[in-house]
Structure 1
């Protein structure tokens, strides 16, 4: 991820004086509670301990990690399980979860044994949640370049997608906890329609219409935590989530022109290094095509100048010049490429 300054980090660890057991803590539904989770920390002695250190995390980085995890990979799935250990009370039930308490040491084998018991269920639910949240993120930041929503703000896109896909999202966001209408955007007055198409039509016909954030509850379920961090990230409205054009993973940036992440891809090379190499090669190829265009342009202009009485030369030159200008304008607007322009030049 790019090194960015995040103005509104979210506190997602419990404080040192936390004395609840997992079960008691997770069932406490106080509206005043902040986003929290217990981190099952390696105690460097071959044992795990439940970490209760208060700290802050850059906004939305846990969501990015979740979207990029490979939950089919046993080790990666186990890593995620230990990070959001208490969220899995919905899988383990009282008998298993009550064996673990704060400030005790637990052997790696006992934690791994618990994970193995519920691995398939955790993996499958994580993959479903990952798919739902990735589709949500793709829509909010228009990573699929949907023409109809390109002029909307991320808040408006959030509102449209959540309200038109609430049923399938809420199963993972709530997961036996309650955030009714919590951490969502609400309208100042009534909006007609609830489908994606009708909401898009509404906001297109009301370009000055605004929405406002609504906070009304808390949630300690992992998918709820990820959803709320996404909400806060959109509300912050200073950064973007993008997909790397090299490795395909999600990353955060404050520059809309950046298309490559800082993750290591091959050896000591990052995706950004490879992206710079690709950009340089494309630039050289584009300059070559542009040079071809200028040469053809000059030849046609010279042909007209030397043969002012031949009308067909002038007509051909004017038509060609007009089409070439349209092609160049399309390239500047990223609707066409120099590669396509090169083919057009060869055919014309």
Structure 2
């Protein structure tokens, strides 16, 4: 573990990715941290009280350091009546199939970022990580004053340079292979589709802060390969989705079976590009009927919840990276021990 990351006192150069919406349970975060990695709370969708409660639940299990992850907030999109009607027509059949009413729908579409950030300050994690942009200067100062390590996320060289200029302590380089939401700054931009290897090769020597490699990393040999290429640490999410402590739902776990998972990126679930296992919703929803993030995310939340309750993966956001191989179903601590054998 190089540079400022060593301040965390981790035994292994591993961040277990924040996986909001269920997989990153308090048990998984605590077990990952207790095993010498940095567990991460995916708090992007959480209310301020829930963020504090989650952190307390982690601390009840371990006194090891952990991170909290937030989504940088952009101006709320303006959704006109025509766009909402297109989205309603595109999903009406799914709601009938799932026994759901037509939803009432209005702004705000996400939790208030400033209130979430204040909750993070109260929770006092060892690290604050974030995606979708640069942390505002006043928030950066407050996090720094609270003693947190600050980690941004970049999908392009330009984003990495902007993060370094903003004063972050480290940068997660998110290759196109990574599962879950792409950390692209501009919510309306097309995806650059830069793979991890190219992103890391460009950043080395140009970006001076420690670099954390993310995307398609599944095994101990994968970890050693990117560390040998200059990364200070790795971030892994998919490999932990089926661990005993993960809050991954039963239909989500079932969709991850096997050694090969057919994934691609889509805006269908949230309005932002994210990589997941292909399913009916991803393949059938017309891109023209997808509202911008975070409106689409709020609009499809009832569908995803009902799909989980029904035990069906058809309408779930099955976030997963491109990494191959059977996923570990034992404890997170045993997986970490396998990744870093003595």
Regarding TM over 0.5, the answer is no
Higher helix share: 1
- Looking at both structures, which has the greater relative contact order when contacts are Cα pairs under 8 Å and sequence separation is at least 6? 2
TM-score, normalised with respect to structure 1: 0.30
